[in-house]
A and B are shown apart, each in its own frame.
Chain A
């Protein structure tokens, strides 16, 4: 369970971005994860619930884009999806393949919220209620 450490590193980067953009808060964080990164998406989600407390990210949502393992086979020149514990060419069974996707562990984007423009009056944000 190293997802908490990974999550803390993620939030450190996110808070730095929020600070440098002078944001009020972070609405959402999107990461891209491949199964060969060693990070389990569900564990990262749980860790995020705990670790997001603090400046900027207290109410942030975590979106995870899960990427498949894809391999390129130099022998039959095909590219295909495969399982993380079966890194072979699904076409010809060759194991000398190149992994072209599946090792990603990336912070893709951050959605920031800024303070409404100062107008001199009370700046209660207009709350729109949705079901």
Chain B
């Protein structure tokens, strides 16, 4: 097929028309988003805030983990949450009921947050409030294991939740999302004794199959609440972040 006019004559090749021009670009498609993300990240660094992008499928327990995190860190560290959902203020209200500063972004029909939305949210939701600063800002992304992975928000770390009711082969089905993770949290681990189709070994093996050795933690929220390893990880990451940004 002719590359110039698209006609179907075999071996037909137009000479390039004199009024056409080819511009080589080789730039990332996400340039505008990445630029806004870098701006957000610089803003977080100046304020000494560690920002964590929390991603998972819907219903894996992101909001619940944040509620428990706020309880565990209460009085020790300042927590703030930016919530992303298609509709409703429900998740932000849940967190506010527990005394957590929370801001809701409703995306309408967009299946992910992007850096511009977070930038806009930061204008309405300052990191410092009533003379109290924020130590850790969580961005709870839209529940979706596909699209959020493609958008840098300016976060320092990505945490992906994999709940035990979802199946241990999720990393093999959603390699792009799991490859973005700095930490994978196996949530609802207290259900493991009841489930015959989820094995931690298989989940870990599925991650090895996509070339990953990402740290994996378990959390259990329910009758056997256990977020100890997660809280310890957060505190360690905050300390490391403070050392990096102070340097």
**Are A and B genuine complex partners?**
yes
B156 on interface, CB distance cutoff 8 Å: no
B38 on interface, CB distance cutoff 8 Å: no
A130 to B147 Cα, complex, angstroms: 41
Which of B42-50, B132-140, B203-211 makes up part of the contact surface? B203-211
Q: Decide if B150 touches A116 in the complex (CB within 8 Å).
A: no
B114 on interface, CB distance cutoff 8 Å: yes
Q: Decide if B32 touches A13 in the complex (CB within 8 Å).
A: yes
Q: A105-131 toward B: CB 8 Å interface, digit per residue (1/0)? A: 111111111111100000000001011
Q: Decide if A114 touches B26 in the complex (CB within 8 Å).
A: no
Name the A residues within 8 Å of B8 (CB-CB). Answer: 131
CB-contacts of B1-42 with A (<8 A): 2, 5-9, 12, 17, 19-33
Name the A residues within 8 Å of B6 (CB-CB). Answer: 61
B173 on interface, CB distance cutoff 8 Å: yes
Q: Known contacts A21-B23, A71-B211, A106-B28; decide if A2 and B7 are in contact (CB<8 Å).
A: no
A39 on interface, CB distance cutoff 8 Å: yes
Q: Decide if B29 touches A109 in the complex (CB within 8 Å).
A: no
A27 on interface, CB distance cutoff 8 Å: yes
Name the A residues within 8 Å of B149 (CB-CB). Answer: 38
CB-contacts of A61-104 with B (<8 A): 61, 71, 84-88, 95-97, 99
CB-contacts of B93-123 with A (<8 A): 110-112, 114
Q: Which of A27, A105, A107 contacts B20 (CB 8 A)?
A: A27
Interface residues on A, range: 35 or more
User: Measured between C-beta atoms, what is the minimum distance from B105 to chain A in Å?
Assistant: 15
Interface residue count on the B side (C-beta < 8 Å): 44
Q: Decide if B29 touches A9 in the complex (CB within 8 Å).
A: yes
Q: How many A-B residue pairs have CB under 8 A?
A: 128
Shortest Cβ distance from A112 into B: residue: B21
A40 to B182 Cα, complex, angstroms: 24
Q: Known contacts A36-B175, A37-B176; decide if A112 and B23 are in contact (CB<8 Å).
A: yes
Q: Decide if B210 touches A85 in the complex (CB within 8 Å).
A: yes
CB-contacts of B120-164 with A (<8 A): 146-147, 149-151
Q: Decide if A114 touches B5 in the complex (CB within 8 Å).
A: no
B231 on interface, CB distance cutoff 8 Å: no
B64 on interface, CB distance cutoff 8 Å: no
Name the A residues within 8 Å of B192 (CB-CB). Answer: none
Shortest Cβ distance from A107 into B: residue: B25
Q: Decide if A86 touches B25 in the complex (CB within 8 Å).
A: no
Q: Decide if A113 touches B175 in the complex (CB within 8 Å).
A: no
- Taking beta carbons and an 8 Å cutoff, which residues of A are in contact with B? 1-2, 5-6, 9-10, 12-13, 17, 21, 23, 27, 31, 36-39, 61, 71, 84-88, 95-97, 99, 105-117, 128, 130-131
Known contacts A1-B147, A2-B110, A12-B32; 20 additional CB pairs below 8 A are A2-B112, A2-B146, A2-B151, A9-B30, A13-B25, A38-B149, A84-B176, A85-B172, A86-B210, A87-B209, A88-B208, A105-B150, A106-B27, A106-B28, A109-B26, A110-B22, A112-B20, A114-B19, A116-B19, A130-B2
Provide a sorted-by-A list of 19 A–B residue pairs whose CB atoms are within 8 angstroms: A2-B112, A10-B29, A13-B29, A13-B32, A37-B176, A38-B150, A85-B173, A85-B209, A96-B213, A105-B28, A109-B26, A110-B23, A110-B25, A111-B20, A111-B22, A111-B23, A113-B17, A130-B5, A131-B9
- Taking beta carbons and an 8 Å cutoff, which residues of B are in contact with A? 2, 5-9, 12, 17, 19-33, 110-112, 114, 146-147, 149-151, 172-173, 175-177, 179, 208-213
The 4 closest A-B pairs by CB, nearest first: A87-B211, A130-B7, A2-B147, A38-B176
